[in-house]
Amino acid sequence: MPSAAVDVRALGVDFLAFSFHKLLAPFGSGVLYGRADLLQAALPFLYGGDMVAEGGVTAGHVTYNRLPWKYAAGTPNVLGVIVSAQALRLLADLVVPASRGYFRSNRPLPRSTIEETMRRVGSHTRDLTARALDAVRHIDGLILHGPDHAADRAPLIAFNLVGRSPASVAEALDRHGVESRAGCHCATLAHHALGLDPPASCRLSFAVYNTVEDVDRATGALHRVSRAGRGPLARLR
């Protein structure tokens, strides 16, 4: 769940990508920010649609369209973009009381509203993460990955139970009505660096819609799962 406003110019980043499904929107929509000079100098990797200038194709030469259309190959995901913008407006309406009325409109969101929305989401999810960390620190056999303090990590806890495969832990939590994720979480190299065999962990994540009660239910279930015996071995080095 996004929990902080990002100023790409202040950071001086070359490229930044994020997916909108983390922001209450459907799958398949996202943003790739790139510095204009880098985008202007690079060659497209997909071709078609609006990425060529009007009449800009000859037998021996292609003139690309101006930015950002230079990279708009094929039919764009119009619906996904519209819904993603509305998801951000909905989040602002839900989180910032003074910002009611953006959802289902085409009103631009002021930067101050976005920053306040992310500040509130970040504060809420940090509190939930801190509560979860405190609740699981002393579970026998639990190996917690990442920084010790919620302020230094994303709103999630990744862990292993000694002698239990992450998949078996996730399945056990599911039987208690708790949804978790098991696997490498698109971070296989990090799992190898941690010496995990297999390179996987279990994860509980927290978002704007989660409550203190959700955290207590999840961590309580994890306590029960940890005491319920050992499943298939996961060799942890």
Count Cβ atoms within 10 A of the Cβ of residue 205 and give its class: 0-12 exposed, 13-18 middle, 19 or more buried. Answer: buried
Q: Which residues of 59-78 are buried (b: 16+ CB within 10 A; e: fewer)?
A: eeeeebbeeeebbbbeeeee
Q: Last residue of some domain: 119, 134, 162?
A: 119
How many domains does the chain contain in total? 2
The reply to whether 96 and 182 lie within a common domain is: no
The reply to whether 92 and 63 lie within a common domain is: yes
pLDDT-based confidence at residue 229 (cuts at 50, 70, 90): low
The reply to whether 156 and 201 lie within a common domain is: yes
Tokens describing residue 60 = 């021996």
Query: What are residue 38's phi and psi, to 5 degrees?
Result: -70, -40
Task: Please tell me which residue in 12, 186, 189, 213 is annotated as part of the active site.
Answer: 186
Q: Last residue of some domain: 68, 87, 119?
A: 119
The reply to whether 104 and 146 lie within a common domain is: no
Q: Among this protein's residues, is 186 annotated catalytic?
A: yes
The reply to whether 25 and 87 lie within a common domain is: yes
CATH for 176: 3.90.1150.10
The reply to whether 128 and 211 lie within a common domain is: yes
Q: How far is CA 86 from the centre of its chain?
A: 18
Q: Convert the pLDDT of each residue in 58-86 to its tens digit.
A: 999 989 999 999 998 888 889 999 999 99
Q: Convert the pLDDT of each residue in 80-97 to its tens digit.
A: 999 999 999 999 999 998
- Find the domain containing 35 and state its range: 8-119
Task: Indicate the residue type of 114.
Answer: I
Model's pTM, two decimal places?
0.86
The reply to whether 126 and 164 lie within a common domain is: yes
Q: Is residue 156 part of a domain?
A: yes
The reply to whether 95 and 142 lie within a common domain is: no
Q: Last residue of some domain: 75, 93, 119?
A: 119
